[in-house]
Structure 1
Amino acid sequence: MSVCPKCHYQRTHKDAQVHPDLCPACGIAINKWRARTPTDAEPATGPTAPAATHNLSSRLREHFMWVPEPSPTDNLWGRALVSGLLGLWGLWFVVHGVDWEVIGGSFMHNINLPFHEFGHVLFMPFGRFMTILGGSLFQVMLPLILLCAFSFQQRDNHAASVMLWWCGQSLVDLAPYIADAPYRGLPLVGGAGEESHDWGNLLTQLGWLDQAQTLARASFGLGAVVMAASLWWAFCLLRKRHRLNHES
């Protein structure tokens, strides 16, 4: 027995003579250690966790990069056009920065607004703070929920990438609202007063009102990164789909 089964110390001939059943490095009784482990090769808590983590990440990557087999109804260029237009639209948001007139006047703001308002109702049972936060929270959560539905249920990863773009745009959409927290000057739904300003109330409760601009920039920056990630995901899927079409 030249290697310790616990610490993998390389035993010498002298070690075997002086300590025939003890490891001079970690001090275990080798025969007893081997008797209580499931296998002679490795301890019961051997390097299985890293392998399991690796397997999980490999499975997730395989899942999110899955594309269907080529078919006559496979509209590759239509999907590419959608991703290209989303890329240009996202760039338009990024170039203009945290600008309420650009973001609040966009078509996407009109899409996000009803879900934002529904979020307040949805989170109402969880108290006043969550009721206020729920609008912004649900606005960002909904695209992620749809992403999972498209990817895991419909097996359409390209549609899921579009939902990821929407999630990023929702974060961008929130940035002017957060930035307006100290001023409460933005027009609100139904002409509600200053007391109904979500982020003005949230940051006041948290004592973070002076951090409004930093949080707004963080929301905008994160949204831009998420939109870029969605476009990269779509590009990888389209490239893989194109390669499969070419091979077939």
Structure 2
Amino acid sequence: MKCPKCGYLRQDQDSHLMEGVCPQCGIAYCKWKENPVPAQEQSFVPEPTNYSIQPVEHWSRRALNRLLEVPDSVDSHAFWGRVALFIAFIIWGWSFILGGIDWRSIGGSFLHNVNLPFHEFGHVLFRPFGRFMTILGGSLFQVLMPLGLMLAFIIQRRDTFAASIMLWWSGQNFIDVSPYIADASHRAIPLILGLSEAYHDWGNLLSMTGSLHRAGMYAGLSFGIGVALMLLSFCWGGYLLYRQHRNLNRLRQL
């Protein structure tokens, strides 16, 4: 008889061994036929589960989704109020953009007086970091503060449309700073509380860095950043309103 496991053919000289047992590997023929694969050699087949592997979303995609997030339900009155606000900020923003670096139009806006307290607070906030940062801190905090509010609206309030307005405000602050930079060489802009020209922030900053001759270039750069942020806020806010309008129409159909 031939062994089903090792293929050994039983010989006459193997008659002294028990019948049904392979002289070569020692298995019992009948048991091998019932269970040809030993338990330790059987491959493990896991039981099926209901779990599915979800792809990990890239952080940039998650950030973009958060920036473009809109509420699932949109109240019609609130929506049209946002539309009116959006149109008003577009008109207001273009008045700053088309006005250029002009102290009379920029400084004459009531928004300049709104920005001024934040500018002055920036000097106090950055005072521990030395004289240079104390002087720069006014303009720096003025443009960064709206960006901080923008992040708060995105992360805490999940109000992306309000965040787009804060981006607009940061752009306006860059424009607000630009005539102050351009005046560094002349120091002709009147300062608050009748302070002398010795307290002119950008006159001192550019003198300290030896770049007073680049005042016009820095002013143009500040103005350009402000225009870019305003245009970006228009695109962002307009797209958010478009998505909200789709949700508004969807609710009407329900």
Superposed, 1:16-95 pairs within 5 Å as 55-72=58-75, 75-95=78-98
Report the counterpart of residue 38 of structure 2 in structure 1: none
Per the TM alignment, residue 195 of structure 1 is displaced from its structure 2 partner at its CA by: 1.0
Q: For residues 154 and 94 of structure 1, what CA distance do their matches in structure 2 show?
A: 30
Give, as a single letter, the amino acid of the residue that structure 2 aligns with 1:125.
Answer: P
Rounded Cα–Cα distance in structure 2 between residues aligned with 1:163 and 1:247:
28
Deviation at residue 70 of structure 1 after TM alignment? 1.5
Matched residue count:
197
1:100 and 2:100 correspond: no
Match of 1:212 among 203, 215, 236: 215
- Alignment of 1:127 with 2:130, yes or no, is yes
CA distance in 2, matches of 1:96, 1:71: 36
Answering whether residue 234 of structure 2 is matched by residue 237 of structure 1, we say no
AA of the residue aligned to 2:167: L
Cα deviation digits, residues 85-122 of structure 1 (max 9, x gap): 11111111111100000000001101100000000000
Q: Which residue does the alignment assign to 2:37?
A: none
2:187·2:197 contact (CA, 8 Å) conserved in 1?
Answer: yes
State the match for 1:150 in structure 2.
Answer: 153
Q: Deviations over 1:146-189 (max 9, x none)?
A: 00111110111111110000000000000000000000010001
Kindly state the Cα deviation for residue 145 of structure 1 after the two structures are TM-superposed.
0.7
Alpha-carbon offset, residue 74 of structure 1: 5.7
- State the secondary structure of the residue aligned to 1:75: helix
Q: CA RMSD in A?
A: 1.4
1:217-232 → structure 2 map (5 Å cutoff):
217-232=220-235
In the alignment, structure 1 residue 247 sits paired with structure 2 residue 225: no
In the alignment, the residues of structure 1 paired with residue 186 and residue 119 of structure 2 have an alpha-carbon distance, to the nearest angstrom, of: 21
Structure 2: gaps (5+ residues): 1-54
Give the CA deviation at 1:71. 4.1
Partner of 1:37: none
Separation in 1, partners of 2:67, 2:87: 20
Other structure's SS at 1:207 match: coil
CA contact (8 A) 2:75 2:248 kept: no
SS across alignment from 1:67 = coil
- Matched with 1:190 is 193
Say yes or no: does 1:175 pair with 2:178: yes
Name the amino acid aligned to 2:228.
V
Per the normalisation by structure 1, the TM-score is 0.77
Contact 2:123 2:136 survives alignment (8 Å)? yes
SS in 1 for 2:242: helix
Over residues 45-84 of structure 1, what are the superposed CA-to-partner deviations in whole Å (9 max), with x where a residue is unaligned?
xxxxxx98x7111101100100111144761111011111
Return the alpha-carbon distance in structure 2 between the equivalents of residues 184 and 115 of structure 1. 21
Aligned: 1:165 with 2:185: no
Distance 2:243 2:184 in 1: 45
User: Where do 4+ consecutive residues of structure 1 move more than 4 Å?
Assistant: none
- Secondary structure, aligned partner of 2:58: helix
In structure 1, what residue type is equivalent to 2:70?
V
Within 1, Cα distance between the matches of 2:148 and 2:194? 30
The percentage of aligned residue pairs carrying the same residue is 50
